[in-house]
Chains A and B, each alone.
Chain A
Amino acid sequence: MLDIFDTLCEINACVSPSGSEEAVSVAIAKVAAPFADSITTDALGNLIVKKNGKPGGKKIMLSAHMDSIGLVVTYIDDKGYIRFSNLGGINAPGLPGTPVRFGNGTRGVVAMEGKVKLADCKIQNLYIDIGVSSREEAEKYVKIADVAAFDTPAFRTGNCIVSPYLDNRISCVTLLRALELVSASTPENELYFVFSVQEEVGTRGAQVAAFGLEPDLGLAVDVTRTGDTPEIAVPMACDAGGGAAVKIMDGSLICSPKLVAALEKCAETNNIKYQREILLNGGTDAGVMQRSKGGMHAGCISIPTRYIHSPQEMCCESDVADSAALIAAFVSAKIEL
């Protein structure tokens, strides 16, 4: 069985924020290859891993986005300081002091203009210092439009994993593990494991993948917030360690009630720990899948994750195992909605 933490570290070693997913795509394809019937990519770079099913089953699209949030270089000044913009939702005051890494291995640290107060800090007040003293020197390592990722460590602690980009590499691991599980026998349904691009900038990859694949049913895998930390601003009934989170609704969709019921029944039949998840805002690939072409039943399994979009996110390993088990059990069996 694929080790959750090791697989995570393997695919997380890539610098692949939205729009630059080539490296992570190659890493995921390598892990998926032994279990796949075919592996393709589409015009936007979505990685599509197909697992054949028995005739007469449903065509199912599973989607976990493989892009991460990140930074993209917009300007390099005379002294070699690098200005950047965000790829996806980044909380600017949370960044100063964060180590970052470019695709070619160049490392640096995010810092803030001296005159700005931390609470007022916007992305445009931040810069990356790569330890050079001129634009010419900086340009040997970094060019405008290059992308960078958080260079923070991954480790296990307690029952949890701490790592940058659990959003959404942990869901990629979940899908890879589900792929491994369904490969034990021929599933009832034709399965497309889509590792989608550009989710963090507006679920763009999944939208075109769904159009191209035209599935009967869509199931996304993504991280979600939790309500189990101190003095939480918006209460939420979803805990790290509480099991696979079956999404009911978020800002991007209201999940098909029939699909939710079928997922919960599957969890109960197979004794898989699960909980319901209702997210106030935010969205996932499930939203665009639901509304592709003439529409489809769509839902989402979420991994409860603390500190989402910070350089150190945390989730519980057992939730990953439960989610993979639930997805595998659900898509392997006959589905009536």
Chain B
Amino acid sequence: MKELVKTLCAIDAPSSFEDAMRDFIRPRAEAAGCEVYEDVLGNLIVHKPGAPADKRIMFAAHMDEVGIIIKALGDDGYLKFACVGGVDVRVLIGKRVLVGANHVPGIIGIKAVHLTTQDERKIVPKINDMYIDIGASSREEAEKLTCCGDYAVFDSFPVDFGEGMLKARAIDDRVGCATMLKLIENGPAVDSWYVFTVQEEVGTRGAAPASHRIKPDAAIILEGTTAGDLPDAKPHLKVCAPGAGAVLPFMDNSAIYDREMFNELRSLAEKNGIRYQIKQYVSGGTDAGNIQRARAGIPVAAISAAVRYIHSPSCVASIDDFEQIYALAAAFLAAHAK
């Protein structure tokens, strides 16, 4: 799992630019003997044939990550940009980015602190005032390297970190994609569906059409979720912690998870000695909301990874948690073989 998550975390895929993820997943799923289909939004739908299941089970994880989109090329060669998905602009200042598929190096600059006024130091710059410097000195020069509507990603590559941790960008939700890919390649040989969704970060957009098409009877969302286990956080606001096992949420802002499925996952974890933690706060949202409310309703549950600093260039998560998540998802699938 570790190597797979690391590989996936190095792939560029801001929302609506998920091409490279599809290109990576498709051949591997096909090689595993699956039917693979890309819908008009770019959701990659994988059907794994196998022993009949007692119901149509769908796993979902989103391929996209938060990132940057280039809005305009200035006459001076600087790029104006906007964030794709929810990014705190404070984490952007003074960061390196990679622009476009050719990975043109860029810098989100800010004028030196010496040049700021007292008042300026107290406020966060507005995104409209920020820019990316790619070393171009004119629009013409910039046009050779990028174009309007191009994307950029944080220049942050996956590395092993501390004790059994991983630092990378986009662990949300490459951990979910890795889990699905491993289920496809090595998981229980049970008939099942996998949707690698697009545009989760701009409003869980891909999940609705995908589940409308697949018509599952039950869905499990594999996600990265916010860990709040910082030293000064009050115990009841820590949410979950990397290293404490797969996170089982009972609700978030997008869905109240099906209580039967939640209980089933909990007992499967206990029966199989899989480490898990219950998410101890209600926050965030996932594709679950739109999946649950597709068609005439679909029971949903989620298995999540606790990720610190989610939506920033430097996320931190526990490698052992990835294994627990995979084990639990596989146990669920195996339990539903007819």
CB atoms of A and B under 8 A apart anywhere in the complex? yes
Q: What CA separation (Å) do A66 and B256 show in the bound complex?
A: 16
The CA of A42 and the CA of B281, in the complex, are separated in Å by: 28
In the complex, chain B residues 202-237 whose Cβ is within 8 Å of any chain A Cβ: 217, 235-237
Given A75-B236, A124-B236, answer yes or no on A43-B256 (Cβ-Cβ < 8 Å).
no
B296 touches A208 (CB 8 A): yes
B292 in contact with A83 (CB, 8 Å): no
Is B299 an interface position by the 8 A CB rule? yes
Residues of B in contact (CB 8 Å), total 22
Q: Which residue of B lies closest to A288 (CB)?
A: B293
A144 lies within 8 A of B297 (CB): no
> How would you classify the secondary structure of chain B's contact residues: helix, strand, loop or mixed?
loop
Q: Which of B235, B250, B262 has the most CB of A within 10 A?
A: B250
Residue B316, interface by CB 8 Å = no
- The one of A46, A77, A208 in contact with B235, judged by C-beta atoms closer than 8 angstroms, is A77
Q: Which residue of B lies closest to A293 (CB)?
A: B295
**In the complex, residue of chain A having the shortest beta-carbon distance to the beta carbon of B212:** A211
By a CB distance below 8 angstroms, the chain B residues around A43 are 217, 296-299
CB distance from A126 to the nearest CB of B (A): 10
Q: Which residue on A lies nearest to B281, using beta carbons? A: A74
| B298 contact set on A, CB distance < 8 A | 43
A201 near B256 with CB under 8 A, answer yes
The 8 Å CB contact of B282, one of A77, A85, A198, A211, is: A85
Say yes or no for A19: interface residue by CB 8 A criterion: yes
Closest-CB distance, A260 to chain B (whole angstroms): 27
Residue of B nearest to A123 (CB): B282
With both chains docked as a complex, state the minimum distance between the C-beta of A198 and any C-beta of chain B, in angstroms. Answer: 6
Kindly supply a per-residue 1/0 record for chain A positions 73-91, scoring 1 wherever the CB is within 8 Å of any chain B CB and 0 otherwise.
0110100000101010000
**Known contacts A72-B250, A74-B281; A19 and B256 CB within 8 A of each other:** yes
Across-interface contacts of B282 in A (CB, < 8 A)? 72, 74, 85
Residues on B with beta carbons closer than 8 Å to the beta carbon of A189: none
Interface residue B46 (Cβ < 8 Å from any Cβ of A): no
Q: How far is the CB of B281 from chain A (nearest CB, A)?
A: 5
Give residues 30-52 of A contacting B (CB, 8 Å): 42-44, 46
A144-B280, A208-B293 as given contacts; A44 in contact with B236, CB under 8 Å: no
Q: A208-B292, A208-B296 are in contact. List 17 more A-B contacts (CB 8 A).
A: A43-B296, A43-B297, A43-B298, A44-B297, A72-B251, A74-B281, A75-B235, A77-B235, A85-B281, A87-B251, A87-B256, A144-B278, A202-B289, A204-B292, A205-B297, A207-B293, A211-B297
Task: Mark B residues whose CB is within 8 Å of A.
Answer: 217, 235-237, 250-251, 255-256, 259, 262, 278, 280-282, 289, 292-293, 295-299
Please list the residues of chain A having a beta carbon within 8 angstroms of any beta carbon in chain B.
18-20, 42-44, 46, 72, 74-75, 77, 83, 85, 87, 124, 144-145, 198, 201-202, 204-205, 207-209, 211-212
